[in-house]
Amino acid sequence: MRITTIAALSLLALSPSSVVAFASSPPSSFISSGGGVTNTRSTSSLFGYIDVSERTTRAIDPFERWADQCGIQQADGFQLSTQDRADYSVVTNEYIPAGQPVLVVPSDMVLSSSVCQQELMAMSNGGVSDAVDILGRIGGGLSVPEFYLTLKILVEFEKGDQSYFFPWLNSLPRLYYNAVSMTSFCYECLPPLVFSLSREERLKFDNFMEVLSRVDVISNSLKQDLDVIMWAFNVVHTRCWGEPGQDRGSRLVNSQNRGSRLANTQNRGSRLANTQDRGSRFINNSQEKFLVPMADMFNHGTDTEVELTFDDEGNCLAYTTIDVQAGSPLRLSYGDPANPSAFFAKYGFLDETSPATFCKIMNIQPTPDVIAMGYDFSRMVFYRDTGEISEEVWDVVLYAKVLANKPGPRKQFYNAHMSGDANTKAAIHHEYFLETTTEIKNHVDTFLFQLDELSRKAVGQNMGRHPRLPLILRHNDFIRHTFVRVKERLDPMVTQAWQAQM
């Protein structure tokens, strides 16, 4: 079903009669239990299954038909676009003014971690609870919501085409370029910050693997299938949404006014659980994560065209934030656009439209006073096209490096910064300008040398064995371009500072 008249959306009702029988009547492999839905493997033979091999073509056409049957509504002009049948994005072939809905996903099609938790616990004889307890003890407590979603994907995978979500799952990517998918050699070619971020992502996967043996809702053979488990992990970790600023959909907000444009859909939540108050729970629970079929097709953009909201019934809606011309992409933000290395590690893509990149200074301890000074990935940046250095870089390098052994000026600078005394700050910056510019220049020169060394490692390597290497090299070149621009600005500064002291 499509939203045929955007201006008349307020008159549109998502009544059960508007959904075909398949969508309103879940298959027999779904049985209700304890207020949620327990998924049991169908006893009938499977006619189809999900091939997770990396060269498998994504089944997009059946997914789009399924989405339409399930009541997922799209505005006129909304379409999925691809150039290689591997990576898909959302575009519009019609003009859409700002503030208009382009996608509506009914609440019962949203996979939330809390509802999946209820389902899994109802299926389990204690194994899921044991796994979660161990995950928390080994340091993976913050990943528990994603763990529930990953288990849900694995449960549905074992059902093959008997799974209600089979058309969606069969449309998802198989080939990933993120940190979890990299070979050991790929890690050897990563700059320090990206290496650190990538190891964090890999640790999440290693933790999942460590506790998976305790789970009793999937077969033992599936627990040993590394390819399927990694695929399910990547599906969740590259497509789920959470609290603002944490992952995809960072602009996600609850919207009562926008939600009022839709009719009540509370009777359509039988496939997952009672959806009462789900919209507010998604926003208020910092541990809630969720997957939204079709909404997960929006790509990231530094400049965005859409944002997501939930109405009071938990329906997910995408709205335009600007006037969008025909032929334009529809994108949302996955997070901080000034940290493309984080996107690269987590999602496996390089945002070459990013206006800046973190300055990659890794040897400053993030003590409380340094953090108060502005030590933060999103603020300590170098700007790609101009080579400009953010004020936070100047402040933190001066405070944490140049003044490290000068307690008097250090305290004076800190107090001036915290009190907003711009004149005192400027005077101290001026007095130690040579030392500060030299410190930053040494970092830039060293990092450029490291990038060249890392890239040289890849020469002559078999790209078939290491298919992520080309993207790693592009990432290194992107960062290198930014650092070269910074160097072009810094070198004259250092020269002038030396001349001023002669």
Structure confidence by residue, pLDDT tens digits, 352-368:
889 999 898 888 888 89
- In this prediction, residue 248 has a pLDDT band, given cuts at 50, 70 and 90, of low
Name which residue leads in pLDDT, 23 or 51. 51
- Predicted confidence (pLDDT) at residue 85 exceeds the cutoff of 90: no
- In this prediction, residue 242 has a pLDDT band, given cuts at 50, 70 and 90, of confident
Q: Tell me the sheet residues that pair with 241.
A: 248, 290
Per-residue confidence (pLDDT) for residue 176, from 0 to 100 = 96
- Predicted confidence (pLDDT) at residue 234 exceeds the cutoff of 80: yes
Per-residue confidence (pLDDT) for residue 284, from 0 to 100 = 39
* Helices 144-158 and 113-123, axial angle in degrees (round to 10): 60
Structure confidence by residue, pLDDT tens digits, 324-336:
999 999 999 998 8
- Predicted confidence (pLDDT) at residue 25 exceeds the cutoff of 50: no
Average pLDDT, rounded, for the chain: 84
Least confident of 138-147, 271-280, 422-431: 271-280
- In this prediction, residue 46 has a pLDDT band, given cuts at 50, 70 and 90, of low
Every domain of the chain and the residues it spans: 2-332, 355-501
Least confident of 156-160, 221-225, 247-251, 492-496: 247-251
Q: What number of CA atoms fall less than 13 Å from residue 493's CA on the CB side?
A: 20
Percent pLDDT > 90 in the chain is: 70
* Helices 340-347 and 226-239, axial angle in degrees (round to 10): 140
Q: Which fold has domain 2-332?
A: set domain protein methyltransferase, domain 1 (3.90.1410)
CA distances from 360 to 356, 372, 422 (A): 12, 18, 26
Q: Is the pTM of this model over 0.85?
A: no
Per-residue confidence (pLDDT) for residue 442, from 0 to 100 = 96
**Calpha distance 191→185 (Å, rounded):** 13
322, with CB counted inside 10 A (0-12, 13-18, 19+), is middle
Q: Tell me the sheet residues that pair with 82.
A: 88
**Calpha distance 2→104 (Å, rounded):** 9
Per-residue confidence (pLDDT) for residue 338, from 0 to 100 = 78
Residues 345-371 as b/e (b if ≥16 CB within 10 A, e otherwise) read bbbbbbbeebbbbbbbbeebeeeeebe
